[in-house]
Every structure is written in C-alpha cells, then in structure tokens.
C-alpha cells in the first residue's frame, strides 16, 4: 500500500478544514458580483436622485441604524423564523411526496397536472385564501410558503428518484440489500443532483413569499416594516429592509444549504477539470 485509504481523525479534520477554507475563498466571485450590483445601484441613484433610489451607502447607514434598534432585530427574527420553518415544513412534505412519486410512475403521471395547477395559481391568491383561513398569523405565511415552493421540491425529489441509476439498485440487491436499505443507501443519495438546485430555489421563494405574505396579511415581520416604510415614503428604510431580507436569505443559504450540498457532493469536485475548481 502506498498510501492509507482511510484517513486518521486529524487528517480528516484537516481535509474538512481545507474544504471549508476553499469554500470561503470561492466567495470572492460572489463578492465581485455584489460589487457590480452596488455599482449599478449607485449609477441608478445618481441618475434618478435619492427620492426614487437612495444610494447604497445611505442604505447601509440605515441598516446600521436599524441594527442598533432591538425592535428591528425582533422584526427580522420573526420573518427569519417564518421563512425557515415554512421552508423546513415544505422540504419535508415535498421530499416525502416527491420520493414516493419517483418510485411510482403512475403517481408521478397523476401528480404532474396537479403540479401544473399549483404552479399556475399566483402566490397572491394563496395569500388571500390563507388570510381568510388563518388570519394574520405565522400559519398564513407558512401555508403560502408550503403551497408555492412545494412543486419545485416535489419535482426535484421525484425526478431524482425516477432518473436514478437502476444498476446501483441491482448491485445493492445482488449483495443482499433489502428495499429499505437500498432506498437509504443508494436511492436517496441519487436525488441530490436535482433536489439541491430545487431546494436553493425554494429557499429563495420562501423568503420572497414570507415578506409578501407579511406585507399583504399585515402580519408584522419585514413585510410589515416594508408596509410602514411605504406609508411614510421612506425609501432608505424600505431598501434597508429589502437588503436585510436578502442578507438573511444569503446567511441561511450559505450556512445551511451549501455546506450540506458541499459535503454530500464532494465527489463532484473530483470530477471537475483543473481550473474550474478555483
């Protein structure tokens, strides 16, 4: 043996730390994109003036002011809590239903038109219905997130299972794996290709829909704060709250979805040609 194939704990930790640092380093591309956006924003501000579009720096100053206010923290936490719990609920339901449909082509065929119907109904319609059913509460926001983001996750999970490599199923069966073991060790791993992009999309939808539902249902949170800013025609505060919602989304995505995806899909890194890796 030239090299041990099972890493020691220290070597394993070092490798994992290396992956985390590599992930952090890869953030420069995202940072560059954000700087470009800020430049376009500044240009818009200079063209239309502060009443239409406040400058990025002024918006950041407004965020700093909000950060010093404990009420603003509770507003942001309320939206964060609603979006994340709604996302978690929708992920659980979507994955269970999608995996079930993926294993049963008849179910997938029956579900396909229903998904089209769900996708066709505008989120605003669900907000109105949820307001009638649940009033201005957490349940309204979570229900709207569930219904609007569910089709994407459902399809991601269903297609992951339906397009799985059946040769791996046969291999596992030939070596004695039962149906449940095959699903847990071979089936579910193959959904990641389609499921993770769906989850990233669904997470963005969850935050957007949460803010929209809060605004229209008068249910507090960032949506409620945006409604107040609109009434006061306070552009700087409105943009600050929008930026806060985006920052919360990025924090959740890059601390929850991407690390899990990176850990599960680390073999894909090995498949990338040199140069694409950095």
Partner 1 sequence: MTVLALNGIGHAYLGRSVLDDVDLRVAPGEIVALVGPSGCGKSTLVHIAAGLIEPRAGRIERDYLRHAMIFQDPCLMPWATAAGNIEYVLKLARVPRRQRTRRISEVAAQVALDGQDLAKYPVELSGGMKQRVAIARSLAVRPDFIYFDEPFTALDVALRRRMQDLVISTCVCGRLSGLFITHDLHEAARIAHRIAVLDTRGHGILGERRLTDEPQSRDDAAVFRWVQSALADDPLFRHIHDVDERQVA
Q: Check: CB of residue 235 under 8 Å from CB of residue 250.
A: no
Residue 41 sits at φ, ψ, to 5 deg, of: -60, -45
- Other CB atoms within 10 A of residue 95 CB: 21
Q: Check: CB of residue 218 under 8 Å from CB of residue 140.
A: no
Q: Check: CB of residue 76 under 8 Å from CB of residue 220.
A: no
Nearer to partner 1, 2 or 71 (CB): 2
Nearer to partner 1, 161 or 172 (CB): 172
89 counts as binding partner 1 under rule CB under 8 A = no
Nearer to partner 1, 1 or 231 (CB): 1
Q: Return the range that interacts with partner 1 (CB under 8 A); candidates 86-94, 147-155, 245-253, 259-267.
A: 259-267
Secondary structure percentages of the chain, helix, strand, coil, to 5: 85, 0, 15
Q: Return the range that interacts with partner 1 (CB under 8 A); candidates 33-41, 64-72, 239-247, 261-269.
A: 261-269
Alpha-carbon span 204 to 183, nearest angstrom = 29
Q: Per-residue x/- mask for partner 1, residues 157 to 186, rule CB under 8 A? A: --------x-xx-xxxxxxxx---x---xx
Nearer to partner 1, 169 or 228 (CB): 169
Among 47, 231, 233, 271, binds partner 1 (CB under 8 A): 271
Helices 221-231 and 235-252: crossing angle in degrees, nearest 10, is 160
Stretch 183-242 residues interacting with partner 1 (CB under 8 A): 185-186, 189
Residues in the chain: 278
Nearer to partner 1, 137 or 173 (CB): 173
Binding site for partner 1 (CB under 8 A): 1-6, 165, 167-168, 170-177, 181, 185-186, 189, 264-265, 267, 270-271
């Amino acid at each position: 043996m030239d090299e041990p194939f099972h890493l020691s704990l220290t070597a394993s930790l070092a490798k994992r730390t290396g992956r985390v640092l590599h992930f952090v380093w890869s953030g420069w591309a995202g940072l560059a994109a954000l700087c470009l956006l800020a430049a376009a924003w500044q240009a818009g501000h200079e063209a239309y003036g502060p009443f239409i579009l406040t400058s990025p720096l002024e918006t950041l100053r407004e965020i700093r002011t909000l950060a010093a206010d404990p009420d603003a923290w509770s507003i942001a936490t309320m939206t964060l809590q609603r979006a994340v719990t709604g996302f978690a609920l929708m992920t659980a339901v979507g994955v269970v239903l999608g995996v079930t449909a993926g294993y049963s082509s008849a179910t997938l065929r029956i579900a396909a038109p229903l998904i089209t119907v769900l996708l066709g109904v505008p989120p605003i319609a669900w907000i109105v219905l949820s307001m009638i059913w649940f009033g201005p509460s957490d349940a309204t926001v979570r229900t709207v997130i569930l219904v609007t983001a569910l089709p994407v996750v459902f399809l991601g999970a269903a297609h992951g299972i339906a397009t799985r490599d059946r040769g791996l199923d046969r291999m596992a069966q030939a070596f004695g794996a039962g149906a449940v073991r095959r699903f847990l060790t071979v089936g579910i791993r193959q959904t990641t290709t389609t499921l993770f992009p769906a989850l990233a999309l669904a997470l963005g939808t969850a935050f957007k829909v949460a803010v929209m539902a809060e605004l229209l249902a008068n249910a507090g949170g960032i949506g409620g704060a945006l409604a107040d800013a609109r009434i006061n025609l306070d552009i700087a505060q409105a943009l600050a709250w929008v930026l806060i919602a985006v920052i919360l989304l990025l924090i959740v995505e890059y601390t929850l979805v991407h690390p899990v995806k990176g850990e599960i899909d680390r073999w894909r890194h090995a498949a990338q040609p040199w140069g694409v890796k950095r």
